[in-house]
Structure 1
Amino acid sequence: MIGNTWSYILYLYGLVIDSLIVCDNSDRLSASSVNRTEFPLQYMGQWYFLAAAAPSESRALETFKVMDNAEFRVQASTEQEKLVFIATVRVKDGSCVPRKWIYILTDGSTELRTEGHPDRTTELFSSKCSKCVILKETENNISRLLLYSRSPQLEEEFIEEFKEKASCEGYKEILEIPQTLDYCHMEK
C-alpha cells in the first residue's frame, strides 16, 4: 500500500515538473540582436558538422545517415550578401564527396536563403557554446536542426544543450555524426 502511494506521488511529481519546464525561444537570433559589422564575418572559416535533429520518423535526416564526418569552410562570395559553403563529406563507405552551396543573406535579417532552393529558409540560434552555431532549416514539409562547431570534438554539455533545443522544437530524432574515419582533404 505504501509502495503504491509513493509511486503515485512520484508520478504526479514528474507530471508537475514536466509542465513547469518552459522552452526558451529567445535564442533565435533576430536582425536587431546581431552586430551587423561582425555578421556574417564571425561565421567565416572552418566548421565541423556534429549533429542533426528532426521530428521522429522523418526523412529530414536521411541525407546525414550515410555520413561519417563532414568539414565545411565558409567564405565570402565575390557577390555581396552571399556566403559560399564548401564541404568535404566522408561517407561511411570511406569515399569523399565534395559539396558546395550558397547562402543568400536577407537584407536586415539573419534569415538565410539557399541558392537554388527558394522554399528553404535557414534561421540562426545563439548557443552557450561560443564556438558553435545551431541552424534550423525548413523547406516544404521538412524541418531540421543542425549543430556545427569550430572543433570536431565538443564538450558533452554543449551536445546536451543541442538536444534540449531539439526537444523544445519538438524534434525526437537526434543523429550524432560518428566521426570514426579520417576527415577528407579539403582543397584550399
Structure 2
Amino acid sequence: MYQRLWSWMIYLSGLTLQLLWNCEYDDKVAAGSLNKTQYSGKWYFIMMAADSDASLLKFRAMDSNTFQLTPMEAEQKLLLRGEIRLSQSMKCLSRQWIYHINNKTQEMILEGRPYQKTEIFVNDSDDYIVLLESQDKGSERFQRLMLYGRSPALTDFARLKFEHRAKCMNLTAIFVLEQAQEPCEIS
C-alpha cells in the first residue's frame, strides 16, 4: 500500500517537474573531450525514443542488453561490444561496433555507417548516459535517443528526465526493454 502511494507521489512530482522543466539541456559532450576512462566499462541499454515506431522495430525484438565500452589503442576510436538477449528465444547474440571520434566534430561516427552521427549527453554525477543517433542521408533516415545505465534498473526520476528530453525533441515513440530475463554476461 505504502509502496504504491510512494510510487504515485514520485510520478506526480515528476509530472510537475516536467511542466516546470524547459527544453534546454547543457549536458552535451563533444566526442573528442569525452573522458574515455570514466565512461569505459559495463553499461546496460534500458530504453529509447525515436521519431517513429518504424525506427524502433528492430529494437523491439530485444529483451535486455549488456555492453562493454573500451577505448581502442588508436586514441580516436571506441569499441562497443554487446550481448543482446532476444525476447522470443531468450538466446544471446554477440555484436560489436567501432566508433570513430573526430576532435573537429561534436559527434562520433559509426564505422561502416558514415552518415550516422552519435551525440553524447552525460552528467558527471549520473550513472546514465544518453546517446542521440541520427541519420539524415542515405537509404535509412532516423533520429533515436538511447538511455544506458551502469545498472539495468531504471529510477523513476531518470525515466521522467529521459521522456522529457524525448518529448522536447519530438521523439514520440518510446520503448523500454522488458528485461524479463537476466541480461547476458559480457566478458
In the superposition, the TM-score normalised over structure 1's length comes to: 0.80
Q: CA deviation at 1:78?
A: 2.3
The equivalent residue for 1:60 is 55
RCO comparison, higher one (Cα < 8 Å, 6+): 2
Rounded to whole Å, the distance in 2 between the matches of 1:71 and 1:27 is 24
Letter in 2 for 1:115: E
Q: CA deviation at 1:143?
A: 0.6
1:1-188 mapped onto 2 (5 Å cutoff): 22-30=22-30, 36=33, 39-57=35-53, 59-93=54-88, 94-127=90-123, 130-140=126-136, 141-186=141-186, 188=187
Q: CA deviation at 1:182?
A: 2.1
Structure whose alpha-carbon radius of gyration is higher = 1
Q: CA deviation at 1:109?
A: 4.5
Q: Is the CA contact (8 Å cut-off) linking 2:79 and 2:99 kept in structure 1?
A: yes
Residues 22-31 or 59-68, more deviating: 22-31
Secondary structure of 2:181's partner? coil
**Structure 1 109/50 Cα, relative in aligned 2: closer, same or farther at 3 Å?**
same
Unaligned runs of 5+ in 1: 1-17
Secondary structure of 1:175's partner? strand
**Structure 1 96/24 Cα, relative in aligned 2: closer, same or farther at 3 Å?**
same
Divergent runs of 4+, >3 A: 18-22
Letter in 1 for 2:167: S
Rounded to whole Å, the distance in 1 between the matches of 2:98 and 2:19 is 41
Q: CA deviation at 1:85?
A: 0.4
Q: Is the CA contact (8 Å cut-off) linking 1:128 and 1:158 kept in structure 2?
A: no
Q: CA deviation at 1:30?
A: 3.9
Matched residues, number = 165
The equivalent residue for 1:7 is none
**Structure 1 40/109 Cα, relative in aligned 2: closer, same or farther at 3 Å?**
farther
Letter in 1 for 2:57: E
Rounded to whole Å, the distance in 1 between the matches of 2:149 and 2:22 is 26
Rounded to whole Å, the distance in 2 between the matches of 1:150 and 1:39 is 16
In the superposition, the TM-score normalised over structure 2's length comes to: 0.80
Secondary structure of 2:63's partner? strand
